[in-house]
Structure 1
Amino acid sequence: MRPQGPTIQGRTPRVQSQGSMQFPPVGGTDALRRVLVVDDSRLQLRILAGMLRRRGFEVMEATSGAAALDLCATAPPDLVLSDWMMPGLDGLELCRRFRELPHERYGYFILLTSKSDKSAVTEGLDAGADDFLTKPVDGDELLARINAGARVLQMQRELAEKNRIVTETLAELQRAHDAIERDLRQARVIQQALVPERVRDFGNSRVSLLLQPCGHVGGDLVGMFGSGESGLALYCIDVSGHGITSAMVTARVAGYLSPKFPDQNLGIERTISFGPAMRPPQDTARMLNARLAGDPGVEDYLTMAYIAGDLATGEMTLVQAGHPPPMLLRADGMLQFLGNGGLPIGLVPDATYDPVPFKLGPGDRLLLYSDGFTETVMRDGEMLGEAGLAGLFRAAAAQAQGPELLDDLFWRLSSGMAPGGPLRDDVSAALLEYGEPLAC
């Protein structure tokens, strides 16, 4: 005799050889374990719940929408199978309130209804239902819909897990970014300390400095130092590349040319008769080149314009090591470029550098600058160039002096840049305004 079990719409479930119930397979059961069945008909509730339990689901039962909502709040189900027409809180309102509960995981909702018109389906979808089954319920169709819901939940859980991993990864990256940002801000402070004085008077003359990195830190360096009663040196340096590596090289070079430690300064030599004196610029460049080229830990090179001389006589000497040629704006308005080129520092171990002597007169202005000025793209799409910078220098010199002149020069550069174009390179400059010669 064939064993009998609960039937839905007159069907008898198939029987396994061991005598247990056989149903269509349900996929994604790892995502769909707990099912809440809601129906005010105890008979239908018992039939549906029994079938699902035999399939291996954990089943909760509720005979009203209010009782179901309480269960959803305390033990959120993976799937709700609810009758639509119930007294009090019906299935449609239950679905709305179920969606409002603060669940971490998505719950699938199937409405059981005798309604089949499109307006009813639309109303159910608007309330948050995922699927519908028409009464009387077909057992195979019900399990097929649960199977579809399990796949949806599985994909949702996988997506949620991936989102969790992405969120955690982003949080970790943000922490790393914050740490790097703190380090870069500190590095910027340290690099700014390499230029402790922005302006300094040397008797009747004045040296002003400008340093504008395009990022937190940069590879440009400007500086000045004196020796004896009238010795003066100033320089403008541009390390190849950008960022932290270049900034570390500038810090190292700053130590070689430090005004605070003249005994370690390559630009100062001690003479037996006269004490500290300015070393010839070509020798300073040669020694600096030997230090950098001979260091296996330094792969970068740098360009440099280095000038040293005597303020008492106005006699100065330039070394141009691959750097843009300095501009000399005479007191009478004539402008000339100085220098004969030369190899960068640290590129060739045995490089030598040619001195370029010149003489300053009262009222002359000498500008050392990096290619961050001349290679800036302007509104016309062209780079500023040396001729363009000469025009800006003349205009700024007619309006201001000292550090205000350099500020005005940078403002004119920024104002003429291509719209929305940030600085692509560090911008730096050293300005010497020569006054009356110092008396020895």
Structure 2
Amino acid sequence: MRPKEADFTRIEPDAVRRVLLVDDSRLQLKIVSAMLSRWGFEVLQAESGPEALELCATHSPDLVLSDWMMPGMDGLEFCRHFRDLQKDSYGYFILLTSKSEKGDVAQGLDAGADDFLTKPVNAHELRARINAGARVVSMERQLSEKNRLVSEAFAELKTIHEAIDNDLKQARKIQESLVPDRMRVIGTSRVSLLLQPCGHVGGDLVGMFTPGFDRLGLYSIDVSGHGITSAMVTARVAGYMSSTFPDQNIALEKRFDQYYAMREPAETGRMLNQRLAADPGVEEYLTMAYVAGDMKTGAMRLVQAGHPPPLLLRADGTVEFLGDGGLPIGLVDEVSYDQVEFTMARGDRLLLYSDGFTEAVMKDGQMLEEEGLARIFRQSVEMGGTGPELLEDMYWRLTTQMENAETLGDDVSAALLEFDSVPEAPANP
């Protein structure tokens, strides 16, 4: 049964509205143009390739019907130039030709044609070809729109990322300000600090304070997790262990409204745990090694709250790891801590460090662990390193031996006390 005429003249959605008709035959232009106009299309006409390209520059067509055989610029050359034009949307290209050999079809496809229509043009076939082209153009425009939306979303995300990145860079500066002094000489001893976050900001914190000339508080802290939340906790703890405002430092207590005395480290750990555990909504906890020392006698008192054991390198080269562990701070409400007492002598070095050192994965796939840390500590000392340079040398040795030296898996930090190792300044004459 012959299909109804309406089936052949049904106009697809708005994907194709403007059609460019190119033919050197005025009669052919008139016939095909009449069909297209009757179907509701806006029709542009050109009798040559150059004339058609001029029209395309000002009136971008949705679909092109071009004769293959034309004097001067033929349909293939015109198609190539058409594809080279900068257009906002895709233009469907149909070649009108009497050619039907496979080689001719391949040549047309290579030139950029989408479809072919044999002459003389059959109205039903033309309508079907246009509908096929309309579906392609419609899908292309939908894809272009989606790509546009994706590009806009990407640009917005990039702007947001840049803003976050700038905020994190500022946050890093703020966190670095929590450790204003990376080295301090106290009498004939020297304290040095190292802080290397694995990201913009981190959860490690090292610090020192000196409430009196002969007294020192030295600590290494590692907050659980990484990133902004951990960094916020370190900022809060830095206030609790402030070197600038002794009245806010929970490791100190004021005596007779005249001077500050150092609390026992075990009591300091208990008070810090009490404050962190009482904070509503804070799930982070921290590990800490804190030493209160007498710089005149070398008497040291240590509390180790879940932190890696401090490394004591004696002047004669022997190594001791101090402490028996203990619960992290902020993990449970009520906790008490044991205290370790030891004495340092001239030339001894005490290293507080985070597990970013000992748990770093080496090139052999194994973690550095305590034995490896003692090894690189000795090597840096034997190279004559002192103060911050010694810590930097240790960090360099660590990263050069790591499996992935470009990306730290964890924050790396350390606090170094070199006891009675700095020559005393000569008295003024």
TM-score, normalized by length of structure 2? Answer: 0.94
Name 2:167's counterpart in structure 1: 183
Name 1:434's counterpart in structure 2: 419
What secondary structure does 1:165 align onto? helix
Residues 28-177 of structure 1 mapped to structure 2, 5 A cutoff = 28-177=12-161
Contact 1:38 1:82 (C-alpha < 8 Å) held by counterparts: yes
Residues 24-423 of structure 1 mapped to structure 2, 5 A cutoff = 24-26=8-10, 28-272=12-256, 275-399=259-383, 400-419=385-404, 422-423=407-408
For residues 183 and 45 of structure 2, the distance between their equivalents in structure 1, rounded to whole angstroms, comes to 84
Contact 1:28 1:154 (C-alpha < 8 Å) held by counterparts: no
Give the C-alpha shift of residue 83 in structure 1: 0.9
Gaps of 5+ in 1: 1-12, 17-21
For residues 436 and 14 of structure 1, the distance between their equivalents in structure 2, rounded to whole angstroms, comes to 104
Q: Deviations over 1:263-311 (max 9, x none)?
A: 1111111122872121111111111111111111422110000000211
Contact 1:26 1:144 (C-alpha < 8 Å) held by counterparts: no
**2:35 aligned partner, one-letter code:** M
Aligned pair in 2 of structure 1 residues 98, 185: CA closer, same or farther (>3 Å)? same
Of residues 68-77 and 359-368 in structure 1, the stretch that sits farther from structure 2 once superposed is: 68-77
Aligned pair in 2 of structure 1 residues 216, 273: CA closer, same or farther (>3 Å)? closer
Contact 2:11 2:39 (C-alpha < 8 Å) held by counterparts: no
For residues 208 and 397 of structure 2, the distance between their equivalents in structure 1, rounded to whole angstroms, comes to 25
What secondary structure does 1:319 align onto? strand
Structure 1 stretches of at least 4 aligned residues deviating more than 6 Å after TM superposition: 13-16
Contact 2:300 2:344 (C-alpha < 8 Å) held by counterparts: yes
For residues 219 and 147 of structure 1, the distance between their equivalents in structure 2, rounded to whole angstroms, comes to 63
**1:238 aligned partner, one-letter code:** D
For residues 81 and 289 of structure 1, the distance between their equivalents in structure 2, rounded to whole angstroms, comes to 81
Contact 1:26 1:150 (C-alpha < 8 Å) held by counterparts: no
Aligned pair in 2 of structure 1 residues 384, 229: CA closer, same or farther (>3 Å)? same
Of residues 271-280 and 358-367 in structure 1, the stretch that sits farther from structure 2 once superposed is: 271-280
Name 1:19's counterpart in structure 2: none
For residues 11 and 315 of structure 2, the distance between their equivalents in structure 1, rounded to whole angstroms, comes to 89
* Aligned pairs, number: 421
Contact 2:94 2:115 (C-alpha < 8 Å) held by counterparts: yes
**1:208 aligned partner, one-letter code:** S
Of residues 293-302 and 428-437 in structure 1, the stretch that sits farther from structure 2 once superposed is: 428-437
**1:103 aligned partner, one-letter code:** K
Contact 1:28 1:147 (C-alpha < 8 Å) held by counterparts: yes
Q: Deviations over 1:201-254 (max 9, x none)?
A: 000000000000000000000000101221101000000000000000000100
For residues 94 and 356 of structure 2, the distance between their equivalents in structure 1, rounded to whole angstroms, comes to 67
Aligned pair in 2 of structure 1 residues 70, 271: CA closer, same or farther (>3 Å)? same
What secondary structure does 2:8 align onto? coil
Identity, % of aligned positions: 65
For residues 421 and 155 of structure 2, the distance between their equivalents in structure 1, rounded to whole angstroms, comes to 62
Name 2:427's counterpart in structure 1: none
For residues 138 and 229 of structure 1, the distance between their equivalents in structure 2, rounded to whole angstroms, comes to 104
Gaps of 5+ in 2: 425-429
Give the C-alpha shift of residue 349 in structure 1: 1.5
Q: Deviations over 1:46-71 (max 9, x none)?
A: 11111111112121222222222211
For residues 27 and 231 of structure 1, the distance between their equivalents in structure 2, rounded to whole angstroms, comes to 91
What secondary structure does 1:161 align onto? helix
For residues 193 and 421 of structure 2, the distance between their equivalents in structure 1, rounded to whole angstroms, comes to 21
Aligned pair in 2 of structure 1 residues 394, 26: CA closer, same or farther (>3 Å)? farther
Q: Deviations over 1:321-374 (max 9, x none)?
A: 000000101111111011121111111121111111111111100000000101
For residues 87 and 259 of structure 2, the distance between their equivalents in structure 1, rounded to whole angstroms, comes to 82
Aligned pair in 2 of structure 1 residues 30, 68: CA closer, same or farther (>3 Å)? same
What secondary structure does 1:24 align onto? helix
What secondary structure does 2:338 align onto? coil
For residues 221 and 133 of structure 1, the distance between their equivalents in structure 2, rounded to whole angstroms, comes to 76
Of residues 384-393 and 265-274 in structure 1, the stretch that sits farther from structure 2 once superposed is: 265-274
What secondary structure does 1:305 align onto? strand
